[in-house]
Structure 1
Amino acid sequence: MQVKTSSDLTTVLAGFHALSDPIRLNILDLLRSQELCVCELCEQLDLAQSKLSFHLKILKEAGLLMSRQERRWIYYRLNLAQFIVLEQYLADFRRYASLLPARPCPDLED
């Protein structure tokens, strides 16, 4: 996925920013296999709801989470489509790896 518009760039930047915090990575790990409500996330992460809400907001704004409300609880789950966008962005670097210079790097020589 080549970044073609400022909207694409904003999406990629928001995604990687959201992934740059250990608490947010822990949240994603917990949601990897199941949908959880805020109260369950608070308990499993041992976080105050206000702190958790801050991190959930960043993940949701980055498009990495989706939510639904059931009565008074909000349930969160991963938005796998957004993870695919970030994965495709990184895959573009791997695809062009053969274009790297062939000359040796002086710092790596014995």
Structure 2
Amino acid sequence: MSKQAAPPTVVDLAADAPCCPPLTQVRVPVETATLLAPAFKALGDPVRLQLMSMIASAEGGEVCVCDLTPAFDLTGPTISHHLRTLREAGLVDAERRGTWVYYRARPGVLRQLAALLTVEPPAGLTRRD
């Protein structure tokens, strides 16, 4: 009798429920890793991580690029490049209003990344960092 693997789960990055168990519990399927890796890679840059933090914590849930650019000692085109990388990785949405672009975080994607990295100590053990 041949062993059949369970069909891979389609990961919905916008879903409220976690896409998969934390990586400390089971191996991440290749499909999930392929889908989530660009988001982790995008956050691997210090400027993009700061931009993501600014966008995600913005009052009202969105922030104008005009408020992001002055926070860095970088040119506008460089900030635009970093924002495009975050957008292409699925971490933020952008909306043009007149001459300005407004960015907002995609909470579903952030929940998926957080769920994958969740570490719970086994029952009965005390937590040690």
- Who is 2:10 aligned against? none
1:29-68 equivalences in 2 (<5 Å):
29-34=53-58, 35-68=62-95
CA drift of 1:74 comes to: 0.7
Q: State how far apart, in whole Å, the 2-side matches of 1:36 and 1:22 are.
A: 19
**1:25-76 CA distance string (max 9 Å, x none):** 1111211322222222111223211101111111111111111111121101
**Separation in 1, partners of 2:57, 2:36:** 24
TM-score (structure 1 length as normaliser) = 0.73
Identity %, equivalent residues = 33
Deviation at 1:84, TM superposition (A): 0.7
CA deviations 1:71-91 (Å, max 9, x no partner) are: 121101111110111112223
Residue 37 (structure 2) aligns with: 13
Q: Tell me which of the two structures has the higher relative contact order, counting C-alpha pairs closer than 8 angstroms and 6 or more residues apart.
A: 2
Please give the TM-score of this superposition, normalised by the length of structure 2: 0.64
Instruction: Point out the structure with the larger helix share.
Output: 1
Q: What letter is aligned with 2:91?
A: L
Unaligned residue ranges in structure 2 (runs of 5+): 1-19, 22-27, 123-129
Ranges of 4+ aligned residues in structure 1 off by more than 4 Å: 2-5
SS at match of 1:47: coil
Q: Which runs of 5+ in 1 are unaligned?
A: 99-110
- SS class of match (2:103): strand
The alignment covers a number of residue pairs equal to 94
**Contact 1:67–1:76, Cα closer than 8 Å, also in 2:** yes
Contact map agreement 1:11 1:62 (CA 8 A) in 2: no
**Within-5 A mapping of 1:63-78:** 63-78=90-105
Aligned partners of 1:38 and 1:49 also within 8 Å: no
Which amino acid in 1 is paired with 2:49? Answer: L
